[in-house]
Amino acid sequence: MARLGRESTVALRDGREAVIRSARPGDARALSRLLDAKAAEAEITLLMRPGEISAREWRRRIAAAAERDTSLFLCAWLGERLVGDLGMVVDAHPASSHVLVVGMSVARDCRGLGVGGAMLERALEWAGELGALKVELSVFAHNASAISFYERHGFAREGLRKRQLVRAGEYHDEVLMARFLDPEP
């Protein structure tokens, strides 16, 4: 996994400081807690369900990603608490190897403070250094705050896949979004 050259400290909107750094296998338990809490929220915004991915599996995924230089896994820490994560990886298909796929989450009580934006901007900078031309993601269509967040960071809607995702026995539409890192020809 590509690693950021350094940790960075970012000032949050509430005056506290968060540290953004590359994920380490030792972060797995905290990552599992963060994502389980997000998956348990009333508004469905993750495909995973609480308890679906163990800390052991997160540790394995972090270690496996560490073997590739075409992926990035970031963590945002507020003191001793993990409050955000971001994963970015080159698209698996050779014809779209110029595209990176991103996914991220931020703890409920830390949203709107700048944690997500700081992680995303660091990741986009890394993507540009890697030579990527496009970063893409998908969002549940009902997640207006996430869509607005990504639009503020230069992402545009590229499509809508109706009834694409099933979570809690219900079908959900998926919004496809992307940001180009170079000017389109």
Model pLDDT for residues 99-109, shown as the tens digit of each residue: 999 999 999 99
pLDDT digits (tens, 9 = 90+) for 67-120: 888 999 999 999 999 999 999 999 999 999 999 999 999 999 999 999 999 999
Q: Where are the beta strands (DSSP E) in the chain?
A: 8-11, 17-22, 71-78, 81-90, 99-106, 134-140, 156-167, 170-180
pLDDT digits (tens, 9 = 90+) for 16-50: 999 999 999 999 999 999 999 999 998 888 888 99
Q: What is the pTM of this model?
A: 0.93
Contact partners, residue 79, CB within 8 Å, separation at least 6: none
Domains of the chain: 8-180 (3.40.630.30)
**Confidence at residue 1, expressed as pLDDT on a 0 to 100 scale:** 44
